[in-house]
Protein backbone atom coordinates (compact mmCIF):
# COMPACT_ATOMS: atom_id res chain seq x y z
CA UNK A 1 0.00 0.00 0.00
CA UNK A 2 1.31 3.43 -0.91
CA UNK A 3 2.18 5.73 1.95
CA UNK A 4 -0.33 8.62 1.58
CA UNK A 5 2.36 11.09 2.60
CA UNK A 6 4.39 10.20 -0.50
CA UNK A 7 1.59 11.32 -2.87
CA UNK A 8 2.88 13.72 -5.47
CA UNK A 9 0.22 16.44 -5.21
CA UNK A 10 -1.76 17.99 -2.39
CA UNK A 11 -4.98 16.89 -4.10
CA UNK A 12 -3.83 13.26 -4.18
CA UNK A 13 -2.82 13.53 -0.54
CA UNK A 14 -6.25 14.84 0.48
CA UNK A 15 -8.05 12.13 -1.53
CA UNK A 16 -5.98 9.30 -0.06
CA UNK A 17 -6.07 10.12 3.66
CA UNK A 18 -8.68 8.72 6.00
CA UNK A 19 -11.21 10.77 7.89
CA UNK A 20 -9.18 10.48 11.07
CA UNK A 21 -5.97 11.62 9.37
CA UNK A 22 -7.91 14.68 8.25
CA UNK A 23 -8.97 15.30 11.86
CA UNK A 24 -5.33 14.97 13.00
CA UNK A 25 -4.32 17.47 10.29
CA UNK A 26 -7.19 19.82 11.27
CA UNK A 27 -8.59 19.52 7.74
CA UNK A 28 -11.98 18.67 9.24
CA UNK A 29 -13.21 19.79 12.67
CA UNK A 30 -13.55 17.65 15.77
CA UNK A 31 -14.30 18.18 19.45
CA UNK A 32 -10.84 17.33 20.77
CA UNK A 33 -10.55 16.37 24.44
CA UNK A 34 -6.86 15.38 24.56
CA UNK A 35 -3.82 15.60 22.30
CA UNK A 36 -0.10 15.00 22.55
CA UNK A 37 2.64 14.05 20.09
CA UNK A 38 1.45 10.45 19.73
CA UNK A 39 -2.32 10.31 20.24
CA UNK A 40 -5.48 12.33 19.72
CA UNK A 41 -8.82 11.93 21.52
CA UNK A 42 -12.03 13.50 20.23
CA UNK A 43 -15.77 13.07 20.73
CA UNK A 44 -17.54 10.63 18.43
CA UNK A 45 -19.89 12.42 16.02
CA UNK A 46 -22.59 9.76 16.60
CA UNK A 47 -22.36 9.06 20.34
CA UNK A 48 -23.59 5.71 21.65
CA UNK A 49 -23.39 6.80 25.29
CA UNK A 50 -23.44 10.15 27.14
CA UNK A 51 -19.64 10.11 26.86
CA UNK A 52 -18.25 8.61 23.64
CA UNK A 53 -14.69 9.51 22.74
CA UNK A 54 -12.34 8.02 20.16
CA UNK A 55 -8.67 7.70 21.07
CA UNK A 56 -6.41 7.26 18.06
CA UNK A 57 -2.69 7.01 17.40
CA UNK A 58 -1.36 9.71 15.10
CA UNK A 59 0.67 7.02 13.38
CA UNK A 60 -1.31 5.42 10.57
CA UNK A 61 -2.16 1.87 11.67
CA UNK A 62 -5.28 0.69 9.81
CA UNK A 63 -6.50 -1.71 12.50
CA UNK A 64 -5.18 -3.56 15.53
CA UNK A 65 -4.93 -6.78 13.52
CA UNK A 66 -2.31 -5.11 11.34
CA UNK A 67 -0.25 -3.60 14.13
CA UNK A 68 3.42 -4.59 14.13
CA UNK A 69 5.90 -5.50 16.86
CA UNK A 70 7.30 -1.99 16.53
CA UNK A 71 3.87 -0.62 17.60
CA UNK A 72 3.96 -2.34 21.00
CA UNK A 73 4.79 0.77 23.04
CA UNK A 74 2.31 2.91 21.11
CA UNK A 75 -0.54 0.43 21.67
CA UNK A 76 0.15 0.37 25.40
CA UNK A 77 0.37 4.16 25.44
CA UNK A 78 -3.02 4.38 23.71
CA UNK A 79 -4.64 2.39 26.53
CA UNK A 80 -2.83 4.43 29.17
CA UNK A 81 -4.15 7.64 27.63
CA UNK A 82 -7.65 6.15 27.32
CA UNK A 83 -7.60 5.64 31.09
CA UNK A 84 -6.40 9.19 31.63
CA UNK A 85 -9.14 10.60 29.38
CA UNK A 86 -11.72 8.55 31.29
CA UNK A 87 -10.50 10.11 34.55
CA UNK A 88 -10.47 13.57 33.00
CA UNK A 89 -14.10 13.10 31.88
CA UNK A 90 -15.13 11.92 35.36
CA UNK A 91 -16.13 8.39 34.40
CA UNK A 92 -15.46 7.17 37.92
CA UNK A 93 -18.53 4.87 37.85
CA UNK A 94 -17.00 2.88 35.01
CA UNK A 95 -16.47 2.89 31.27
CA UNK A 96 -15.84 0.57 28.37
CA UNK A 97 -13.07 0.51 25.77
CA UNK A 98 -13.92 -1.04 22.39
CA UNK A 99 -11.75 -1.63 19.32
CA UNK A 100 -13.65 -2.79 16.24
CA UNK A 101 -11.57 -4.69 13.71
CA UNK A 102 -12.62 -5.46 10.15
CA UNK A 103 -16.05 -5.89 8.56
CA UNK A 104 -17.50 -8.37 11.04
CA UNK A 105 -16.06 -6.35 13.91
CA UNK A 106 -18.02 -3.30 12.84
CA UNK A 107 -15.03 -1.22 11.77
CA UNK A 108 -16.00 1.65 9.46
CA UNK A 109 -12.90 3.89 9.56
CA UNK A 110 -9.60 2.19 8.61
CA UNK A 111 -7.46 4.06 11.14
CA UNK A 112 -7.00 2.30 14.48
CA UNK A 113 -9.24 3.82 17.14
CA UNK A 114 -10.32 2.91 20.63
CA UNK A 115 -13.89 3.83 21.62
CA UNK A 116 -14.27 5.11 25.18
CA UNK A 117 -17.89 4.78 26.27
CA UNK A 118 -19.34 5.86 29.59
CA UNK A 119 -21.88 7.93 31.45
CA UNK A 120 -24.50 5.18 31.58
CA UNK A 121 -24.70 1.52 32.57
CA UNK A 122 -23.50 -0.55 29.60
CA UNK A 123 -24.99 -3.94 28.79
CA UNK A 124 -23.07 -7.15 28.20
CA UNK A 125 -22.74 -8.96 25.87
CA UNK A 126 -22.60 -6.29 23.13
CA UNK A 127 -24.70 -6.81 19.99
P1 LIG B 1 -15.82 2.16 13.91
O2 LIG B 1 -17.21 1.86 13.43
O3 LIG B 1 -15.36 1.33 15.07
O4 LIG B 1 -14.83 2.16 12.77
O5 LIG B 1 -15.87 3.62 14.50
C6 LIG B 1 -15.84 4.76 13.70
C7 LIG B 1 -16.48 5.84 14.50
O8 LIG B 1 -16.13 7.09 13.93
C9 LIG B 1 -18.01 5.79 14.54
O10 LIG B 1 -18.45 5.64 15.88
C11 LIG B 1 -18.43 7.13 13.94
O12 LIG B 1 -19.56 7.68 14.57
C13 LIG B 1 -17.18 7.97 14.17
N14 LIG B 1 -17.02 9.09 13.27
C15 LIG B 1 -17.20 9.11 11.93
N16 LIG B 1 -16.93 10.34 11.45
C17 LIG B 1 -16.58 11.10 12.50
C18 LIG B 1 -16.18 12.47 12.64
N19 LIG B 1 -16.09 13.31 11.60
N20 LIG B 1 -15.91 12.92 13.89
C21 LIG B 1 -16.00 12.12 14.95
N22 LIG B 1 -16.36 10.82 14.87
C23 LIG B 1 -16.64 10.31 13.67
**Quick one: pLDDT band at residue 8, thresholds 50, 70, 90?**
low
Tally helices (H) and strands (E) across the chain: 3, 5
Classify residue 126: in a domain, yes or no: no
Best probe residue, ligand 1, of 17, 19, 42, 104 (max atoms within 8 Å of C-beta): 19
Average per-residue pLDDT for the chain: 92
Residue 39 · residue 55 · CB < 8 Å: yes
- CA atoms of 113 and 97, how far apart (whole Å): 10
Domain that holds residue 107: 31-118
Quick: pLDDT tens for 113-126.
999 999 999 999 99
- Structural domains in the chain (count): 1
Q: What is the CB neighbour count within 10 angstroms for residue 79?
A: 13
CA distances from 14 to 8, 41, 61, 63, 116 (A): 11, 21, 18, 20, 28
Q: Is 99 in the pocket of ligand 1 (CB under 6 A)?
A: no
Is residue 2 predicted with pLDDT exceeding 60? no
Per cent of the chain over pLDDT 70 is 87
Please state the φ and ψ torsions of residue 69, each to the nearest 5 degrees: -50, -40
Q: Is residue 112 part of a domain?
A: yes
C-beta 91 within 6 A of ligand 1: no
Q: What is the pLDDT of residue 14?
A: 58
Cβ atoms of 41 and 32 within 8 Å: the answer is yes
CA-to-CA distance for 4 and 97, rounded, in angstroms? 29
Band (127; pLDDT cuts 50, 70, 90): confident
Domain-embedded: residue 4: no
Band (pLDDT 50/70/90 cuts) for residue 19 is very high
**Digit-coded pLDDT (tens) for 75-102:** 999 999 999 999 999 999 999 999 999 9
Other beta carbons within 10 Å of 96: 15
Output the domain CATH number for residue 90.
3.30.428.10
For residue 110, is it within any domain? yes
* Mean pLDDT computed over 66-72: 98
Amino acid sequence: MQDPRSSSTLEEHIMSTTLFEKIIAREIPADIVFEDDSVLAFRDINPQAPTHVLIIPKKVIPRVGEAQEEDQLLLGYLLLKAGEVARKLNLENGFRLVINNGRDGGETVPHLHCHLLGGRSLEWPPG
